[in-house]
Structure 1
């Protein structure tokens, strides 16, 4: 009987040890899982912005300016915005006066702001790694104060502090392009943020006109679409350069998509090496749309994303 009791006790001890070992292994797996999760969070914080591949992923065309992807443009575009300084509420405003062309034959080049000419971050949350990488790459930056729609506790207008990084070649690009084209700034940003920023980068007054968020329109497919008809009724000599292809929704054959810009991109040469040569080429065309259509096939891109082609979008 004693031997049987000893055997039973030994068996229970073995089972207990096995269970204990299994519990320990399970606990260890949980710890490892949490460590991996925390490491991913830390890496995201250090990166501060989406990876270069993620920034390119939402565009969806096979072209040097427009890499291919099957992901949703709207979701990825929203995720790629590093800083939204102002409220998303619309600001009531009168219709802006039409821009006056310097010459009837001059090309009109409409330029987006964020992630096309610059990228901006809230200064207080800007990761040190991003700033150090930008300095290492020689990317110029400046600090900016801009007003917000939000109010402080005491009722005063809230002021946001922003760090703005200039895309390499920005000032030379504006200077050279203004020699053969009329430049227009068209941003979906609100004026309280965008106006002081553009004042800093356009010290030589190269833009003949500036348009802000209230000048964009809402469609059944996307909001904040940039309708070029507010600038001209003749679309043969006007182009829009923008990192968000949905900005071209109403005039897809007038769009020039560019690679989004972030402060962690070393060796960026989009403005002087890609966009400027294309603008010079199309400035010689009587009608820019055939060449842009052959280059980017934007109407087909919209159809691919479930947005039908309109009759006025066909040459």
Structure 2
């Protein structure tokens, strides 16, 4: 199977879906002639032209508001992009209330086929307002589907599913994963929402991780294997809907759990996952659930200091050893 980057996988998905459905439109800051600051939208303007691919002013509330208007009137199937996922805060009402709730508030008379692309994560000293991972904020918003891919394969399949869905999707892309290479079939495929993926099987402990931390957890799991500890690594892939069945089956098998994400630890997605595990599988646990997240402080501007903010493989190894050492 060929190997391509996540950037290329996302770009392919956009090309294929825009060719498949002429009502699909893409817009945002610098996404047209420039091809996006992360180069995910390269070639789309040249192929489909200004009516379907165009740049907008720096006005996030307007970008999302326009997408809502297009969707509810049936005018288009919009794919807006915000240059940084942090800027979702500027369009919070349009996302949290309009995208998430209007279909329900109006008795299902309208659809909300919006895929809002949101680059997230620490990368390159971008500072505290351009490096955050705000996924968990939107887990509290009914009506929003939350997608967080960790591989090129997942990114392409999930993006195609997102674009075809008639309900609102927030599609979070970690900036440090854009250059990651992985196997991606040339033939078309879709990945359903609410279906977690077991990235590595193991018997001793379950690691649940998202986005870049899936790769970090896999790195840690290989080192742990050399120490005689076999960790199972699960990527939920979507936080809403959340596949608790796969997670709980793993927890009941291993009896030990570590949850890892780049989001701030307090109130991060791991808190909700941990809560559901203790509700459904408390007596299957042989040790307390542990979580690793980023510290609850603004992300450093310094490219050197920001490395101390993001969880790393050694932290995961240390946490796993602490969990394994808990007497049964």
Q: Does the alignment reach a TM-score above 0.5?
A: no
RCO (CA 8 Å, sep 6+): is it higher in 1 or 2? 1
Q: Higher helix fraction: Structure 1 or Structure 2? A: 1
TM-score (structure 1 length as normaliser): 0.33
